[in-house]
Amino acid sequence: MDSDLLERLDRYAARTGVTKTSVIAAALEAHLESNDTAPDLPFLAVGKSDHGRLSLDGRGIAWREAGQRPRPEEG
């Protein structure tokens, strides 16, 4: 780190009565919150297809979320 930046951090921490670690953690959290983007989902939605059945991926997700295993005839 730049020595000027470390000095500013030291003065700020002393003036406000907080630790330097908490100042750095708060700054990092604020930076990540404003700059971190959520990744795109690999699919748009899970639902029934035009022929009335869930896709294979949709069925797998539904079974996994229900905490069950698919029956052999369902894949």
Q: Quick one: pLDDT band at residue 39, thresholds 50, 70, 90?
A: low
Q: Strands, E, within the chain: which ranges?
A: none
Handedness of CA 47, 44, 41, 72 (dihedral sign): positive
Cα gap 24→2, rounded to integer Å:
14
Question: Domain ranges in the chain?
Answer: 3-35, 39-75
Q: What is the end-to-end Cα distance of the chain in Å, rounded?
A: 56
Cα gap 10→43, rounded to integer Å:
48
**Which pLDDT score, from 0 to 100, does residue 55 have?**
65
**Which pLDDT score, from 0 to 100, does residue 45 have?**
60
**Which pLDDT score, from 0 to 100, does residue 27 have?**
92
